Amino acid sequence: MPRSMVKDGVWLLVGAVLSFSYAPHLWWPVMFVVLIAAMRTGATTSTEFARRGFFLGVGCFTPMLYWAWLAAGPGYPFLVLYTALWWAGLFFLMHEFALRPARLTSPFAAAAIWTVGEFIRGHYPYGGFTWGDPGYALIGLAPARHLASWGGIHAVTFLLVGSAVAMAQLLDPWKRPPARRLMSTAWRMPLVWCLSIWVASGVVSADGTTPVGSLTVGLVQGNDFNRDLSGAEQSRLLPQRHLELAADFTRLDDLDLIIFPESSFGGRDPRDDAALTPQVADLARNLDAYVLTNSTLSADADAPRYNTNILFDPQGRPAGVYTKQHLVPFGEYIPFRSILEKVVPQVSQVPVDFRPGAGSDIFDIGPTPIGNLICFESAFGRDARDRARQGAQVLVVSTNNRSFGNTSNAAQHVAMSRMRAAETGRAVVHSAISGISAVIDPAGLVTQQTPLLQAATLKATVPARAGETPYVRFGPWMVVLSGVIIGAHIWLDKVRPRVSASAGERP
């Protein structure tokens, strides 16, 4: 077997370990530091570095995105290929423009390239895809959560990659023996700077928000079927099961808001359904609480569909409508449908495209404004930031992860909601139809959660907060700074005379 194939197989295995270690969050950054250090060692060309990045990506994203196989079928390999090629491109650019030749600014230039790359992947094509951004893996660490309040997930990713490359430079024998590099104060400085920022982030929080009250919520998780439901079952069984579970709440619970998750009412409109409307109205009046429902609405079977949250006030009257605006490509609508229908039979699972809607994404629950995020929208910091800037004091994520079964998708989605809480300084109520439902405090810590694929209810009181974190106020400034760092590093590389190897070895 050729030696190159053995190396490719090694990176596939390393990527798989990296993916599975994503769950506990703590091992992921450690592995990232180790693998970049190992990849940097002995990689003498940008093409070789990109090849390692590709196989690493395939090994990582194949298990991480396995849930896509359950929903997308043949689309799953293309999703893995897309993300792996993206990593290959990032590793190529890192080596080409940041690591060759090695400079004191190399760790920051490499981190900047990765940060800008993840920002672009989170926007294009079709609105972007954010799964696998290294920053999410650190959500269990207080320094990372504090850092997110400053610069969003982009700041966390930047510092993680910068730390990894700084470590790699110390371990890299290319043109400089490791012992000499470890003894060199100058070459230790990038890693010292990165570690100093991590330590400072652990003790300095840039919340910028203030408490203005609280909101008591009741979550209803009613789809414990470990199978796909027909359209008729979704419209008949799911609303009834959720309403039956909600009946467990009483006035003594003193709820402000009851949340029915995404798809819980199937294709039925609770505003004008002869059987459903009275039950929702009675629930609201009996508990003296607002009720948030979700339905898939369309004029008829062939008309466009709308993923819609409908709010009822404590008197049982419709009080607000929000229709999802950031749709899932290939899940809620099919680009190039006429072509794909001929080669991918699974396209028929989305026979009619959803359309983005209008309406306010802020609902007033008494004195407390809440921000609506429906499923995929919570994977994007910009969407949560937009709600916070509009005045939302609590964020509500309504989601349906049932299509992905008993996979890691639900846990990954909760990790993303935790990042949104840390970025915005808002509590996040993550309501999933089949789990995991979770209550997340403004610091990004999970205070309560439900099991996966079990019928459950959950009551919690969450703080309402006003004000803006630096990330909410200034947005993705870390991406702008990364662009400046890249430009400065390239300018130094092209204009500033290169220091000879012998001069660069001086302590």
Spans of all domains in the chain: 3-205+476-504, 220-471
Q: What is the reported pLDDT for 256? A: 97
Burial degree of 483 (CB within 10 A; 0-12, 13-18, 19+): middle
Calpha distance 386→391 (Å, rounded): 9
pLDDT in tens, 7-36: 666 667 766 666 665 555 555 666 666 666
A 10 A CB-CB count for 79 gives 17
Q: What is the reported pLDDT for 499? A: 45
Q: What is the pTM of this model?
A: 0.90
List, in sequence order, the alpha helices (H) in 227-335.
231-246, 276-287
Ranges in the chain, pLDDT < 70: 1-11, 14-43, 72-73, 171-187, 226-227, 230-231, 338-350, 495-507
Q: What is the reported pLDDT for 207? A: 78
Q: What is the reported pLDDT for 500? A: 39
Using alpha carbons, list the distances in angstroms from residue 171 to 72, 164, 174, 191: 42, 11, 9, 12
Interhelix angle 46-64/3-20, nearest 10 degrees: 40
Q: Strand 368-374 vs strand 394-399: parallel, antiparallel, or unpaired?
A: parallel
Q: CA-based angle 268:271:273, to the nearest 5?
A: 50
Q: What is the reported pLDDT for 288? A: 96
Q: What is the reported pLDDT for 397? A: 97
Q: What is the reported pLDDT for 37? A: 59
Class of domain 220-471: alpha beta
Q: What is the reported pLDDT for 231? A: 66
